[in-house]
Amino acid sequence: MAETLTHFGHSFQKKIIVLLLFNRRFLQTINDILEPDYFDSDADKWLVNCIKKYYEKYKVEPTLEAIKIQIDELSSEVLKKSVVDNLREVFQLREATDLNFVEEKSIEFCKNQTLKTAIMQSVDLLERHDYDGIKTTIDAAMKAGTTKDLGHDYIEGLEERLTHSTRDTVATGWDIIDEVMDGGLGKGELGVIVAPAGIGKTWCLQRLVSETIKRGNTAIHYTLELNQSYVGLRYDTIFSGIPTGEIKFQQETVKKALEKVKGKLLIKYFPTRSASVQTLNAHLKQVELSGFKPDIVIVDYADIMRDISGGKELRHQLGNIYEDLRGLAGEMDIPIWTASQANRSALEEDVIDASKVAEAYSKVMTSDFVVSVSRKIEDKVGNTARFHVIKNRFGVDGITYPATMNTNIGKIDVHRPSSLSGQEASKKMVNSEDFLKQTLRNKYKDYKSSEEAGEEKTSEKNFTDFG
């Protein structure tokens, strides 16, 4: 059995240091069984020893600033340069696709070394007939390399709370929504957009994704209604501002718009009611193996997924789907956004609250953030909408924000009520309502005029016939 990591190779050893610096769960698990002497180079040994000592003292992985300070204190210029070079190489391997494999194999190696050492120690204990000592030694070795994360120690964990964000969020791109969400939707969390049919739920979800990949993130859009190509065309509309039906005539303009997009997007279609949460789970693991790790996932939409729990009533099926979907977010450590249908009566509501969520209130209970979108006929005329925060685990809720929403070009903006844009949108809503009322009045007048004209013609005809 190898005493060092030499046979795994140079790159493998660097990837272990990557995991020590950026995977706290791995550091917690392997810290007490990983020895610096397992590594080949003196620089790697120094780095591993530095990380272990820092973790043992502060219970968190060291920051780059902390490592830099300790590097500056080194007396050997040769070692100092070697450590800096190795650290630079480590950072280049942060996005390696085989880190899970490295994690598994390195823990296995260290556990085997620990067990081997325990067996060697047991030989001396056996000669002394210290059977209790043998049992204690072997038991301790067998427990080595198991997770040490029993939970967050509140008293001892102050520095951890202060130096690490409790939520790693992905912003929506709507500043006021991100503000009330404390940065956006976090990993392991479920966000829901509620609206009646035909209001623009899919447009809202796509707007979220477009802002995400503009910033260089990666995303997966699961569609259970529209086919992949058409969903792609709608993204073309959002990025270029060109209506979907006209894109084929302005391909060069669209290409130039897409050149500015820094991130990546994968669109996957499943027929309605054919995909369960387990289907998405399997697909996510498949794409991860290919090297595609999404920062955010869109499910359009959960209400038309397949439930495999065997629930007989629709409300129970939907409740199970949303619970499984949030479980998937936690398991894959990603934020998931989806949409939900509102009741038909919500079409005439200025503000859609939780009572208008169709079929199962448990959808609201399970989700971390729920926002409704309401658009009456006059809102469609004026390209306006109202975003109402139904539920928010991260801040205030029950607030309604004016929005401009033009689904012809995929432009959706949510405004602060007090801002100039918010005031203009609110005024437009009133004007659109007055315009619609005036239009209805005119139609009614036209109808009455034609009706009266028809009565006059009938009277003349009757008088002529009588004469």
Domain residue ranges in the chain: 6-143, 169-427
SS3 357: strand
Which tens digits make up the pLDDT trace of 284-295?
988 887 788 899
- What pLDDT, on a 0 to 100 scale, did the predictor assign at position 445? 67
The whole-number average pLDDT for the span 430-440 is 61
How far is C-alpha 401 from the geometric centre of its chain's CA atoms?
Answer: 23
Higher model confidence: residue 159 or residue 95?
Answer: 95
How far is C-alpha 363 from the geometric centre of its chain's CA atoms?
Answer: 18
What are residue 336's DSSP bridge partners?
A: 190, 297
The whole-number average pLDDT for the span 121-131 is 75
* Own/partner pairs, 82-86, CB within 8 angstroms, 24+ separation: 82/41, 82/42, 82/43, 83/43, 83/46, 83/47, 85/43, 86/14, 86/17, 86/41, 86/43, 86/44, 86/47
> Quick one: tokens of 385?
């909408």
Q: What is the CATH number of domain 6-143?
A: 1.10.860
pTM over 0.85: no
Q: Which amino acid is at 410?
A: G
Contact yes or no for 21/91 (Cβ under 8 A): no
- What pLDDT, on a 0 to 100 scale, did the predictor assign at position 326? 94
Give dist(CA 110, CA 113) in Å, integer.
5
Asked whether the predicted pLDDT for residue 202 surpasses 80, the reply is yes
Residue 108: closest CA among 219, 252, 176, 8: 8
SS3 62: coil
C-alpha dist (Å) from residue 162 to 50, 60, 159, 236, 289: 21, 11, 5, 41, 34
Higher model confidence: residue 314 or residue 272?
Answer: 272
**Quick one: 264 exposed, middle or buried, by C-beta within 10 A (0-12, 13-18, 19+)?**
middle
Contact yes or no for 199/373 (Cβ under 8 A): yes
Strand order in the sheet with 400-406: 264-269, 218-223, 296-300, 336-341, 190-195, 369-374, 384-392, 400-406, 411-414
Contact yes or no for 406/422 (Cβ under 8 A): no
Residue 32: closest CA among 145, 166, 115, 190: 145
Share of the chain above pLDDT 90, in %: 48
Give dist(CA 363, CA 370) in Å, integer.
9
- What pLDDT, on a 0 to 100 scale, did the predictor assign at position 310? 76
Q: Are strands 296-300 and 369-374 parallel, antiparallel or unpaired?
A: unpaired
Q: Which of the residue ranges 50-54, 157-161, 276-280, 460-464 would you say has the lowest mean pLDDT? A: 460-464
Q: Is the peptide bond before 301 cis (omega within 30 degrees of 0)?
A: yes
**Quick one: 84 exposed, middle or buried, by C-beta within 10 A (0-12, 13-18, 19+)?**
middle
Which tens digits make up the pLDDT trace of 346-379?
777 888 988 888 676 788 899 999 999 999 888 8
- What pLDDT, on a 0 to 100 scale, did the predictor assign at position 316? 85
pLDDT band at 1 (very low <50, low <70, confident <90, very high): very low
Question: Other C-beta atoms within 10 Å of 455: how many?
Answer: 10
- What pLDDT, on a 0 to 100 scale, did the predictor assign at position 466? 45
**Quick one: 333 exposed, middle or buried, by C-beta within 10 A (0-12, 13-18, 19+)?**
exposed
- What pLDDT, on a 0 to 100 scale, did the predictor assign at position 2? 52
Write down the residue that tokens 């995977």 correspond to.
23
pLDDT band at 463 (very low <50, low <70, confident <90, very high): very low
Give dist(CA 466, CA 431) in Å, integer.
52
- What pLDDT, on a 0 to 100 scale, did the predictor assign at position 467? 47
The answer to whether the 6-143 and 169-427 domains have the same CATH topology is no
| Dihedral-angle region of residue 291 (phi above 0 means left; psi in -120 to 50 means alpha; beta otherwise) | left
- What pLDDT, on a 0 to 100 scale, did the predictor assign at position 267? 97
Residue 181: closest CA among 337, 304, 44, 77: 337
Look at the chain and count its residues.
Answer: 467
SS3 219: strand
Residue 220: closest CA among 297, 292, 285: 297
Residue 100: closest CA among 9, 16, 188, 219: 16
Dihedrals phi, psi of 14, to nearest 5 degrees: -65, -35
Q: Is the dihedral of CA 308, 189, 360, 358 positive or negative?
A: negative
How far is C-alpha 257 from the geometric centre of its chain's CA atoms?
Answer: 24
> Quick one: tokens of 223?
């569609």
Contact yes or no for 173/183 (Cβ under 8 A): no
SS3 20: helix
Query: Whole-number mean pLDDT of the chain?
Result: 85
In CATH, what is the architecture of 169-427?
A: 3-Layer(aba) Sandwich (3.40)
Q: What end-to-end distance do the CA atoms of the chain give, in Å?
A: 122
Q: Are strands 218-223 and 190-195 parallel, antiparallel or unpaired?
A: unpaired
Give dist(CA 338, CA 220) in Å, integer.
12
